[in-house]
Amino acid sequence: FSGERRERPAFNRDRDSRPQSGERREFSGERRERPAFNRDRDSRPQSGERREFSDERRERPAFNRDRDSRPQTGERRNFSGERRERPAFKGDKESSERTPAGKMPSKLFSPAGDSDAFPQYVSPIQRVDSPQAPKPGQRLPDSNIEQNERVQVKALQGERYRLFAPCPQGLEEALSLELQALGYENVQTGRAGCHFDADWIGVMRANLSSRLATRILLEVSHAPVTNEEDILALARVTPWERWFGPEQTLRVDTSAIRSPMQSLQYCNLRAKDGICDRLRDLEGARPSIDTVRPDAKVHLFLDETSATFYLDTSGESLFKRGWRHDKGDAPLRENLAAGLLALSGWDPSKPLIDPFCGSGTILIEAAWMALGAPPGIWRPFHFERLRCHDQRLWRDIKDEARSMIAPRLDTPLIGYDINPTVLDAARSNLERSHLTLETIRFEQGDALKIRPETEAGWIVTNPPYGERLEHQDEDFWPNWASNLKQNFANWSVNMISSDLELPRHMRLKPKRRYPLYNGALDCRLFCFDMVPASYRNNETASDASEDSASAE
C-alpha cells in the first residue's frame, strides 16, 4: 500500500462520449441542452430526452358506464355529481331495505313474551340466518368451541341478563347490600365486585342509581377455551349485531386471572378479529377501532379454563359523576367516598363533619345520598349508543328518578380545611354538582380546634397520611385524639388511612376496621365510638379493680 494518490486524466465531454474504465469526469457548470419532447412527433421520449412542460391538458375519452363495464388501461372516469344507485344489502333474506344507522332491524324486536321474538335465531347459539353466519353445530377451524353444547349466548329482548358490577376492593359487601336495596335478585359477592340478575330496564337503573359500582358489565357469552383460536371462535359466534354494528366505533379490553394464555395482547387481537369478522360477514363492513371515545366497549375476561365476553354498558367509570373538576392534593374517588359513608353507618338525618374536607368529595356524596338523588342523573352512558336503546323509555326512567329527589336538605353538613385554596375548589365542585351553596358549609379551620354544634353525629374523613404528613409534627395525632375525646363525646369517628398504626398513634381502640384500597394504596377504615370522659374513667377504674382482685 502506498500513501501516494495516483493522478487520473480529467474527463473531456467533447472528446469522449463516456469515460474509460477507471477515469473520473471533471465537473462542469455548463448544462447540456437536450431536445424538447414533442408529444405529436414521438409517442414517448427517447432515452436521455426530457419532456417540455405544456399547459395544455390532453383530453382523454370519458368513461361510459353503459358502454364499458370498466375503463380501459390509461383511461380516467369523467366525474359525475349523480349518485349511482347500489343494490340493497342482502343481510336479511326477506327485506331489501338497508337498516338505518343506529337502529336494529325491526324484525329483531317484538313485544316481551312473544315466542317469535327472534324467528331467525337458532338456540342455543343466537345467530342471523345468513350464508356467512356459522351453521348450527358447525365447528370453526382450529377451535375447541362446540356451538351447540358449550357456548351460552344471551338474547336481548324479553330476557334477563347476568351482570357484573366491579367496585373498589373492600366494598363488595356494601355493594351487595346496595344492589339488594335497589331490588335486584340473585346478588352474589365476588372478588372486587358483585354478580346479579336484571332485565334491560334494570341495566339502565343500575347505571343510574349505583353509588358504589365502578361500571355495569353485561355478560354476552361464555365458553371454555384452551387457546387463542377458541377466543376467535367465541367472538365469531356471539351476536354482536344486536348491540352495535359497523357504523359504530369499537374498543376491546382484556384482563385475566391465572390464565394459561401466553399473551393478553394477542388474545385481545383475536377477540377484535372475531367481532369484526362477524359484522363484516353479516353487514358487509367492519367497525372502526377507537380506543379513546368508542361507541361500543367490549371487555374480555380470561380465567384458568374459560373466557367471558362482557358488554360495557357504562362507558366512563361510574365514579365520574360529571361534577368534580378540582380534585385537590389527595383526591378520593366518588364511589369510594360513598363506600366510606356506607361502611360508617351514617344516618342521613344526623349531622356530618369532615375536618379534612379537601375538595369536598365526601360531603357532596353525602348530600346526594341524603337528598335521594341518583349519582348518574347528569352524565351519559354507553348503552345510549347501542342499537337497542329506547330514548323514550330512558327519559321516563330519569324523570321518575328526579321526582324522588327531596326538595331541600335539613341535615347539617360541614367541611373544614386549613387551606383556603382547596375550600375554593370545594365550593366550585359544589356548584357543578347542582347543589346550592347553602347545602354544605365549607369553613377554614384547624382540625385540632374545631368544636361540634350538636351532641351527637358522624365524622367521616380522609385525613392526611403518607406524603401529605411530611410537614406535620409527631404530636399531631395525639393532639387531634385529645380534641375528639374532650369535645366529640357520643360521636362516631371514621377515618381512612394507609397508616396501619394510626390507632396506636392516636391511643384509641377502633371498634371496627375495614380493609380498603384507595387506588393502589392498601388502607384501612378505622371506626371509633367516642364515649364521655366519665364513662371512660369508670371503665378504667373497673378494669383496675378487676386487675387488683385477680392479683390478690
pLDDT digit string, tens, across residues 69-116 = 554 555 555 555 565 565 454 444 443 343 333 333 333 223 333 333
CB 179 within 8 A of CB 246: no
Strand 306-312 relative to strand 296-302: parallel, antiparallel, unpaired? antiparallel
Please indicate, yes or no, if residue 523 is contained in any of the structural domains. Answer: yes
> What CATH number is attached to the domain comprising 300?
3.30.2130.30
User: What integer pLDDT is reported at residue 11 of this predicted model?
Assistant: 63
Cα–Cα dist 104/461, whole Å:
48
Residues 212, 253: one domain?
yes
338 plus 299 within the same structural domain: no
b or e along 130-162 (b: 16 or more beta carbons within 10 Å of the residue's beta carbon)? eeebbeeeeebeebbbebeebbebbbbbbeebb
- 250's enclosing H/E stretch is strand 250-256
279 and 152 within one domain: yes
Instruction: Show the cell assigned to 80.
Output: 359525475
Cell of 20: 474509460
Q: Is residue 546 part of a domain?
A: no
Tell me how many helices (H) and strands (E) the chain has: 12, 17
Same structural domain for residues 405 and 289? no
- pLDDT recorded at residue 471: 52
Are 498 and 447 in the same domain? yes
Asked if residue 2 is part of any domain, the answer here is no
In the predicted model, what is the mean pLDDT of the chain? 79
> Which of 61-65, 288-292, 420-424, 512-516 has the least mean pLDDT?
61-65
For residues 248 and 342, state if they share a domain. no
Q: Is residue 253 part of a domain?
A: yes
Q: Are residues 477 and 422 in the same domain?
A: yes
pLDDT bin (cut points 50, 70, 90) of residue 141 is: very low
Separation CA 393–CA 73 (nearest Å): 57
pTM of the model: 0.70
* Mean pLDDT across 193-218: 97
CB proximity list for 388: less than 8 A, separation 6 or greater? 104, 109, 156, 157, 200, 242, 243
pLDDT of residue 325: 75
Cell of 457: 353525629
Question: Could you tell me the residue range of the domain that residue 201 belongs to?
Answer: 122-312
Query: Is the model's pLDDT at 470 over the cut of 80?
Result: no
Q: Where are the alpha helices (DSSP H) in 252-374?
A: 264-283, 334-344, 361-371
286 residue type, one letter? R
Rounded average pLDDT over 325-336: 77
Residue 377 has pLDDT above 60, yes or no: yes
In a domain, 525, yes or no: yes
Predicted local distance difference test score (pLDDT) of residue 81:
58
pLDDT in tens, 251-306: 999 999 999 999 999 999 999 999 999 999 999 999 999 999 999 999 999 999 99
Beta-bridged to residue 460, according to DSSP, are 494
Is 102 among the domain residues?
A: no
Check: CB of residue 212 under 8 Å from CB of residue 167: yes
Mark out the alpha helices in 329-474 (DSSP H runs). 334-344, 361-371, 391-403, 420-432
Q: How many domains does the structure of the chain reveal?
A: 2
Tell me the average pLDDT across 41-57: 58
**Local structure of 345: helix, strand or coil:** coil
Give residue-wise pLDDT tens across range 18-34: 555 555 656 666 666 76
- pLDDT-derived band at 469 (thresholds 50, 70, 90) equals low
Q: Which three cell numbers stand for residue 528?
A: 371509633
364 lies in the same domain as 486: yes
pLDDT single digits (tens) 383-431: 999 998 999 999 999 999 999 999 888 889 999 999 999 999 999 999 9
Same domain, 236 and 363: no
Residue 226 has pLDDT above 90, yes or no: yes
**Domain contains 68:** no
| 347 and 285 belong to one structural domain | no
Question: With 80 as the cut, is the pLDDT of residue 443 above it?
Answer: yes
Domain presence at residue 99: no
